[in-house]
Structure 1
Amino acid sequence: MTKNILIFCAHSDDEAVGMAGTISKLVENGYDVYKVVFSYGESSHPHFREEVVINKRTKETKKASEFLGIKETIFLGMKDTKVKEDIEETNAGKIVEKILSQYKPKKIYIPTEKDPHPDHRAVNNFVLNLIDKLKLKVPVYEYEVWNIVNENKPMVYEDITKYYKKKIQYMKMFSSQWQYMYALWLPVYFRSRKYGNKNNCKFAERFYKVR
């Protein structure tokens, strides 16, 4: 039986904010973690040529994935801020269906349904619809990125006290996104402490179980 985990992200640093501690924990516990990134995030630096941004973000992502123990990062190459449109206009369904069939994940992680970023919501909607269409019986969890409100769904807390420092190190490795990551240092800290208090530990990450 496989011990594969699939993480779907709109952009290559999304899961760094929401679940890097949990990824580190999963890897230590013998799981093989695979990450599927829908967009290179080329619009994050509009004053640079897209190919320059894509090259930078691809390199830092691969380096960061190696650091955290992620087995492989798969880029789908969809247009940044236009993921929903690209999903509708391409054969994304067949591509992701093939990925699901190949890796046969024990668990799947996706961004939350109500994340403020449209690309994050698009990934959520697409993956859930595909899983339902394929009638896959696999646990699916939503991780938080830019969420500012609680959702009325079953919640699961993961103790990441042992892995919190590594989570921060991982976040710092996305150097092209320093302005966003810097803005998230304190929110990530306070969120992790708050969830830790709810889980009787120092630091925790929260997930919504949606399947």
Structure 2
Amino acid sequence: MKTDILAFGAHPDDVELGCGGTIAKLISEGKTCVIVDLTKGELGTRGTDETRKEEATEAAKILGVSARENLGMKDGFLVNSEEYQMEIVKMIRKYRPEIVLANAIDDRHPDHAKAAKLVSDACFLAGLRKIETTHEGARQEVWRPKQIFHYIQWKDIKPEFVIDISEHLEKKLEACMAFKTQFYDPSSTEPVTPIATKDFYESLTYRAQDLGRLSGVAYAEGFTIEKLLALKNFEGIVL
């Protein structure tokens, strides 16, 4: 069950939009990744929770993740409760990731910041031995990820580091557009939402391009951190 990266999203499509390029890159390098969606996105203006489920499955195939799960929490009403924390603790102990990717720490949709704190708190709790959980009847061992990184979503948050996704932008866009009910489609008769515009679709490229410009690569995705990063050496840094 162990995976290298466990990526959480408040809604199906959050992970693809925020860090789809990074996931595609890491998988291409031999890392394993699992996505866990907290809600079904049932309050979304366009589509249904069923179409969202189908789209999430297709996006997962495009990215090549090992598994994708949905915890069925209440869309629009995420709370940092013991009940929700424990569900996430079980996922962390099930997949035992080295790194967790989570929603933006502040964003337009209130669920995003709530999910960021919820996941962060659950990561800490997952390492406490006196909190007992089971999976398929067996007691789970404690596990605490080494790092939690928060991807950037609607708001223009200044990243604390970026990942070069120059060779993986197209796969990110393909995975995002697997959510065809949610994004720009000139033939759609559903209501237009802020993320269903041509401008939003184009922003996926120009925002990645701008972060690339600032960091010396073609395209990049940005992240914020919870604790100071220590580098063993300068290998892997784009100079």
When normalised by structure 2's length, the TM-score is 0.77
* Contact 1:116 1:147 survives alignment (8 Å): yes
CA deviation profile, 1:20-48 (whole Å, cap 9, x unmatched) = 111101111111111111111111137x7
Alignment partner of 1:106 is 2:98: yes
Which letter maps to 2:27?
V
For 2:75, the equivalent position in structure 1 comes to 80
Aligned equivalent of 2:179: 174
What is the Cα deviation at residue 183 of structure 1? 4.0
Q: Give me the whole-angstrom Cα distance separating, in 2, the residues matched to 1:194 and 1:147.
A: 14
Residue 156 (structure 1) aligned with residue 164 (structure 2): no
Task: Select 2:147's aligned residue among 130, 139, 151.
Answer: 139
Partner of 1:117: 109
Residue 184, structure 1, aligned to residue 192, structure 2: no
Any residues of structure 2 matched to 1:46-57 within 5 Å, and which? 53-57=48-52
Q: 1:203 aligns with which of 206, 211, 219?
A: 219
Q: Which has the higher helix share?
A: 1
Return the offset for 1:161.
0.6
Q: Residue 92 of structure 1: CA displacement?
A: 2.1
Size of the aligned set, in residue pairs, is 200
State the Cα distance separating 1:199 from its structure 2 match: 2.0
Moved over 3 A (4+): none
| More RCO (CA 8 Å, sep 6+) | 1
CA RMSD for the aligned pairs? 2.0
Q: Per the alignment, in what secondary structure is the counterpart of residue 65 of structure 2?
A: coil
Indicate if the aligned counterparts of 2:3 and 2:95 stay in contact, CA closer than 8 A: no
Distance 1:43-1:193 versus aligned 2 partners, 3 A rule: same
Indicate the larger mover: 11-20 or 127-136. 127-136
2:235 matched to which residue of 1?
none
2:177 maps to amino acid: K
CA contact (8 A) 2:108 2:154 kept: yes
The alignment partner of 2:150 has SS state of: strand
Shift of 1:150: 2.8
Matching residue's letter, 1:139: Q
Structure 2: stretches of 5+ with no match in the other structure: 128-143, 185-194, 228-239
How far apart, in 1, do the equivalents of 2:77 and 2:27 lie? 32
Bigger CA radius of gyration: 2
- Which residue number in structure 2 is paired with residue 130 of structure 1? 122
- Secondary structure of 1:44's counterpart equals coil
2:190 matched residue in structure 1: none
Q: Tell me the amino acid that sits aligned with residue 164 of structure 1.
A: L
Contact 2:7/2:34, CA 8 A, preserved across alignment:
yes
SS of the residue corresponding to residue 36 of structure 1 reads strand
> SS at 2:213's partner residue?
helix
* Distance change >3 Å, CA 30–CA 68, structure 1 → 2: same
Q: Is the 8 A contact 1:15 1:145 kept in 2?
A: no
TM-score under structure 1 length normalisation: 0.87
Q: In structure 1, how many angstroms separate the alpha carbons of the residues matched to 2:30 and 2:183?
A: 31
Partner SS, residue 187 of structure 1: helix
Work out whether 1:65 is the aligned partner of 2:57.
Answer: no
Question: 2: CA distance between counterparts of 1:127 and 1:78?
Answer: 13
C-alpha displacement at 1:194, in angstroms? 1.2
Report what 1:12 is aligned to. Answer: 12
**Whole-angstrom distance in 2 between the partners of 1:185 and 1:127:** 27
